[in-house]
């Protein structure tokens, strides 16, 4: 299990290539995904007052206890389904409704200008991509500029693992053996404290850890297991253009939006696996970028990434009354806390604009 596996190429989703439009006159397929459910009591959605990454401060649980809670949460996630009563009272169930729109000509010039005015006052470099899931309208700012991906790359990796599982080319119970020489990395995560050479972990645990706590060791184990060339081919088949150029972990805002779109399409076609992945992305320990200034009841499935070298990124989907995808990448950030504060402000601009449109219906 510790060696690179050879997986056949994955057939791309119907949104393959650079196509950014959704069929006009119909709500997008992404706008009818329902039944997102949290693992209540263990992996709740961090909100005001209980966010473990308030102001960018990373709070660590004792590693052994964290893994125990994580394993228990995963097991519960495999067997617990929300009741109808839970769905009615929990703000995350049915918190948004499919949107049928007739205003295909929504003008996003005002929102784009507002974002441009904000970032021009900053010394950091930004790349932004916005996509309205109701109408298919989109815009970008430096959207094709290569930027350091940091941990946002873990989102397409999690999607790739899910693709392999639903196609029967891998199984959640498959185990990967830890090899310190190739898998160890400092930074986020718990496996760097816990894993010993020869320890094995299931694909389900590794995928969950790489998304919910951005575990670097878990990601490296997954990348080694599936083979980085296979992973690169997968992202390219989805429509990614800037995919590890020269071996560097670079991406663009447009490419990340493409992966988020592919994730939503996957969830539509494979509800069981897709909803679980969306739920993992909606309940991470790092939850201060896109959702930072939004109401806590608004579900945001996203993946943040940062580096001490001045990188703060976030990409995901906001399930408000008029859902949308937003990607914000930034570099040259003096303080990652301020970098994520900027992302939160840009996200709030998009949210307010979308809510103003939804309120007109």
| Coil/strand/helix, residue 213 | coil
Reported as a single tens digit per residue, the pLDDT across 204-250 is 999 999 999 999 999 999 999 999 999 999 999 999 999 999 999 99
Reported as a single tens digit per residue, the pLDDT across 96-150 is 334 444 455 799 999 999 999 999 999 999 999 999 999 999 999 999 999 999 9
| pLDDT score of 226 | 98
| pLDDT score of 85 | 34
Span 59-72, mean pLDDT? 41
| pLDDT score of 220 | 98
DSSP state of 122: S
| pLDDT score of 359 | 79
Q: Supply the pTM of this predicted model.
A: 0.76
| Coil/strand/helix, residue 182 | helix
Q: Are 104 and 24 in contact (CB under 8 A)?
A: yes
| pLDDT for 343 beyond 60 | yes
| pLDDT score of 285 | 94
Reported as a single tens digit per residue, the pLDDT across 13-59 is 333 332 333 222 333 333 333 222 232 222 223 333 333 332 333 33
Question: For the chain, what percent of residues have pLDDT higher than 90?
Answer: 70
Q: Are 192 and 184 in contact (CB under 8 A)?
A: yes
Pairing of strands 175-177, 299-307: unpaired
Residue with tokens 């809510």: 355
| pLDDT score of 89 | 32
Going from the C-alpha of 141 to that of each of 38, 109, 304, the distances in angstroms are 34, 12, 19
Give the distance from CA 308 to its chain's centroid. 20
Pairwise pLDDT comparison (313 vs 94), residue with the higher score = 313
| pLDDT score of 194 | 96
Q: Which residues have a Cβ under 8 Å from the Cβ of 90 and sit 6 or more positions away?
A: 37, 38, 40, 82
């Amino acid at each position: 299990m510790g060696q690179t596996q050879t997986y056949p190429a994955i057939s791309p989703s119907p949104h393959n290539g650079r196509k950014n439009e959704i069929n006009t006159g119909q709500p997008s397929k992404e706008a009818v995904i329902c039944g997102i459910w949290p693992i209540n009591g263990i992996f709740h959605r961090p909100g005001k007052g209980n966010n473990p990454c308030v102001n960018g401060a990373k709070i660590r649980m004792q590693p052994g206890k964290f893994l125990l809670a994580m394993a228990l949460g995963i097991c519960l996630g495999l067997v617990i389904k929300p009741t109808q009563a839970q769905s009615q009272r929990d703000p995350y169930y049915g918190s948004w409704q499919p949107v049928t729109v007739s205003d295909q000509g929504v003008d996003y010039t005002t929102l784009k200008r507002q974002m441009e005015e904000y970032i021009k006052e900053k010394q950091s470099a930004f790349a932004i991509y916005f996509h309205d899931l109701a109408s298919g309208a989109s815009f970008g700012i430096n959207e094709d500029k290569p930027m350091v991906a940091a941990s946002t790359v873990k989102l397409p990796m999690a999607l790739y693992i899910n693709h392999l599982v639903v196609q029967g080319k891998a199984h959640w119970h498959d185990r990967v053996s830890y090899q310190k020489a190739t898998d160890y990395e400092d930074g986020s995560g718990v496996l760097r404290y816990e894993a010993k050479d020869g320890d094995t972990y299931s694909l389900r645990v590794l995928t969950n850890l790489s998304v919910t706590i951005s575990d670097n060791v878990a990601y490296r184990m997954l990348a080694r297991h599936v083979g980085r060339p296979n992973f690169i081919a997968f992202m390219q088949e989805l429509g990614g253009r800037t995919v590890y150029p020269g071996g560097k972990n670079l991406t663009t805002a447009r490419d990340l939006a493409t992966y988020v779109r592919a994730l939503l399409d996957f969830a539509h076609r494979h509800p069981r696996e897709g909803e679980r992945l969306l739920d993992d992305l909606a309940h991470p320990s790092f939850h201060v970028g896109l959702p930072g200034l939004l109401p806590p009841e608004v579900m945001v499935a996203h993946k943040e990434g940062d580096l001490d070298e001045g990188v703060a990124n976030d990409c995901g989907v906001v399930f408000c009354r008029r859902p949308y995808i937003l990607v914000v990448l930034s570099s040259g950030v003096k303080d990652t806390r301020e970098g994520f504060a900027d992302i939160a402000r840009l996200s709030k601009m998009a949210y307010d604009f979308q809510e103003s449109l939804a309120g007109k219906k």
